Structure 1
Amino acid sequence: MTVSAKTALGALALLASGFTAAVCQPAKPNPAKPKPLVSHIYTADPSAHVFNGKLYIYPSHDVEGNVAEDDEGAHFNMRDYHILSMDNIGGKVTDHGVALDLKDIPWAGRQLWAPDAAYKNGTYYLYFPVKDKQDVFRMGVATSKSPTGPFKAEPKPIPGSYSIDPAVFTDTDGKSYMYLGGIWGGQLQRWHTGTYEANGSKTDLKKDNEPALSAKVARLSNDMLTFDEPLKDIQILDKEGKPLLGGDHDRRFFEGGWMHKYKDKYYFSYSTGDTHFLAYATGDSPYGPFTYQGVLMNPVTGWTTHHSIVEFKGKWYIFYHDVELTGKTHLRNVKVREITRKPDGTFVTITP
């Protein structure tokens, strides 16, 4: 989820023309300029998964809330989730309608930001950040017997959870982990002492020469509804083994983390936020530490991006968003394109 447009790159000014169909069929993607997956609604922050041989995308649903823009992301005032599916890259994309609505989450206050999903024990799980009635972001979880929902939310948030951008990764041994965190409007900086500081910094801690604020990770319980341990820091190191510093805005973690595994290596990718890169680091454990490797994707049009990486039918793809349809930071559209690895497993940097 993004939180500011003050340093926005030049956004395209093509306006959406009010599509209403619940199913749309985009042109096959051009490697130079992929098309939005759907244009009848605005979508962002796509978490893509393969369930039963089919691609399912769990995005945010951007709406025009007519809320003033600020550094805490008040203008990202989403109220529900739609789930998309596709049988083939470049093929028909189906919108399955509302899978979960804000009004059906007993403890929620406002702002349903970037979700993720998982499958285990015959159940599909939808994880979501939303501000509670005290305006503090917590993680919720909802369940369904179908990957497209509808999902029923648990009556309370996950104990010990906070901040935004859940990403759930299930390892080859069956253990599942949640990665989370985002600074500025994501409130991660307000938890740096372990307790929420309501009047804490609205941006970051401005400690440029100290280790940067880190994403968090916790192993999930077998029922996938709670943490099996306290949240831990994710350490991102440079090639010399030193932690990335708060002032290293081109490489530090900001928000939008994602985990995937390739040939026994763990790849933690994330947004650098105010410098607009998607960066990645690799490690030998789902807990890290992770060594910074480089830029996965250069800046998109818009303020920042939020992505997921998935293998589908023998190829690897990145799902991400930009603002092609509207030119507005808070009204985005999801895209997909293939990613390429070098023989050593590192990525060929994408320039969208």
Structure 2
Amino acid sequence: MNKLKQHSALAITIAMLATSTSSCQQQTSTAGAKTTDTTKKIKYLSEPLISEIYTADPSAHVFNGKIYIYPSHDIEAGTPENDNGDHFDMRDYHILSMDSVNGKVTDHGVALSIKDIPWAGRQLWAPDAAFKNGTYYLYFPAKDKQDIFRIGVATSKNPAGPFKAEPKPIEGSYSIDPAVFTDTDGNTYLYYGGIWGGQLQRWNNGNYAADGSKTDSGKEDEPALTAKVAKMSADMLSFDGPVKDVVILGKTGKPLLTKDHDSRFFEGAWMHKYNGKYYFTYSTGDTHFLAYAIGDSPYGPFIYQGTFMEPVQGWTTHHSIIEQKGKWYIYYHDTQLSGKTHLRNIKVTELKHNADGSIQLIKPVLQ
């Protein structure tokens, strides 16, 4: 990575601060998520929603007037850390709920385990959920028996599960970070993709290259890799039509380039609709910002608007955005409890749209 913008210095500072904090913290338990911070040097915008287990990548939804959160369940698996993310070795999902924002959190226990997914080999990463046809759908990435990330789906009649996985992943799916969006006309779309460990850079025209490079850094002046989107079938179990690129354009009308590390898509897609416009939000990954782009269609193209969240403590961030009772909220994670990039905790704070439709900047770490 080279020629980063000035913003990247802040990302690096946050990462260094997280490492420093980690060395000064003491964990009381590796099974739970309770820690004692002996430094008290960092002031956070929000506090963890739950500390009994480590959680990350929170996908929040309001079902039946109640908030349900579908996060990753981080564990200390003892897997060596590497750039492929093997140390993020999650093995099940716990679904959380609460009656109101920052209310008491209920952990509903294991909703789906990797041992109950016929096609999966390892690593249950960031999931999302949807409701349609009287059924709740849990979308999740996992590596198959050939160590290739695919996206699976599981169903339940209860938003808290347990969920039963389909015997095979969604045909034509790959990579990570599924995010489900149902438009006001009832059509549902699945956004997905993640670079590096998420393997998006290894795919070309539906073909997977096992020896694909870690990044696409050799193509700095070419249009950046971007997320994928597909319309879901009526039964929510398959794609209804071709997978398309989520095209993100700069304000000049030209695609964002690979070298635009502070603005290009990396992972963690999410979609929300505000005042008739489609807001595609995502993580810049290696520079740790949340960015947004606005379009007139769920397919885009989307015009890049800027960043709306500065780096969290930890490697990167992953979010969801929902509306409840006339206010908007962003759910995200950091490493306040552990100081370790693979043992995270989820948080929530209010998200505000300005009169012109832009999003106000959020600073998760207060200095």
Band the TM-score falls in, shorter-chain normalisation? over 0.9
CA distance in 2, matches of 1:90, 1:44: 16
Moved more, 254-263 or 192-201: 192-201
Alpha-carbon offset, residue 20 of structure 1: 8.3
Deviation for aligned residue 1:276? 0.5
Separation (CA, whole Å) in 2 of partners of 1:252 and 1:174:
29
Paired position in structure 1 for 2:280: 268
Match of 1:17 in 2: 28
Residue 326 of structure 1 pairs with residue 333 of structure 2: no
Deviation of 1:192 after TM superposition, in Å, equals 2.8
Shift of 1:123: 0.1
Matched ranges for 1:1-352 at <5 A: 8-11=15-18, 12-13=21-22, 14-18=25-29, 33-352=45-364
**Aligned equivalents of 2:28, 2:114: Cα separation in 1:** 27
- The offset of 1:345, in angstroms, is 1.1
Per-residue deviation at 1:89? 1.2
Q: Which amino acid aligns with 1:93?
A: V
Q: Which moved more, 1:202-211 or 1:158-167?
A: 202-211
Alpha-carbon separation, structure 2, partners of 1:160 and 1:136: 12
Q: How far does residue 197 in structure 1 lie from its aligned partner after superposition?
A: 0.3
Structure 1 residue ranges without an equivalent (≥5): 1-5, 23-30
Give the conservation status (yes or no) of the 8 Å contact 1:71–1:203.
no
Q: Which residue does the alignment assign to 1:28?
A: none
CA contact 1:190–1:198 (8 Å) conserved in 2? yes
Question: Are 1:250 and 1:275, in contact at CA under 8 Å, matched by a contact in 2?
Answer: yes
CA RMSD of aligned residues (A): 1.7
Read off the aligned partner of 2:306 and give its amino acid letter.
G
User: Which amino acid in structure 2 is aligned with residue 154 of structure 1?
Assistant: E
Residue 131 of structure 1 and its aligned partner are, at CA, apart by: 0.1
Alpha-carbon spacing, 1:55–1:75, altered in 2? closer, same or farther (3 Å)? same
Classify the secondary structure of the residue corresponding to 1:189: helix
**Which secondary structure does the structure 1 equivalent of 2:218 belong to?**
coil
Aligned length: 339
* Residues in 2 aligned to 1:122 and 1:18: alpha-carbon distance in whole angstroms: 40
Measured after TM superposition, the shift of residue 186 of structure 1 is 0.2
For the 8 Å contact 2:224–2:257, the answer to whether it is kept is: yes
Greater shift, 36-45 or 198-207, is seen at 198-207
Q: Give the match's secondary structure for 1:179.
A: strand
Percent same amino acid at aligned positions?
A: 71
SS in 2 for 1:206: helix
SS in 1 for 2:88: coil
Residues 32 and 53, structure 2, Cα contact 8 Å, conserved in 1: no
TM-score after normalising by structure 1: 0.94
Question: Could you state the TM-score of these two structures normalised by the residue count of structure 2?
Answer: 0.90
C-alpha distance in 2 between matches for 1:252 and 1:21: 35
Deviation at 1:32, TM superposition (A): 5.7
**1:251, distance to aligned residue in structure 2 (A):** 0.3
Structure 1 CA distance for aligned equivalents of residues 189 and 122 of structure 2: 26
Query: Would you say the 8 A contact 1:177–1:218 is kept in 2?
Result: yes
Change (3 A) 1:332 1:32: closer
Shift of 1:132: 0.1
Output the CA distance in 2 between the equivalents of 1:205 and 1:193: 19
Is contact 2:152–2:165 with CA below 8 Å preserved after alignment? yes
Quote how far apart the aligned CAs of 1:35 are. Answer: 0.8
Contact 2:30 2:76 in 1 (8 A): no
Structure with the higher fraction of residues in helix conformation: 2
The one-letter code of the counterpart of 2:28 is S
Match of 1:274, SS?
A: helix
**How far is 1:313 from its partner?**
1.4
1:207 maps to a residue whose letter is K
Quick one: distance in 2 between partners of 1:202 and 1:65?
A: 23
Question: What's the offset of the Cα at 1:193?
Answer: 4.0
Q: Aligned partners of 1:136, 1:253: CA distance in 2, in Å?
A: 21
Structure 2 stretches of 5 or more lacking a match?
Answer: 1-10, 34-42
Partner of 2:5: none
> For 2:80 and 2:170, how far apart are their aligned partners in 1?
30
SS of 1:10's equivalent in the other structure is helix
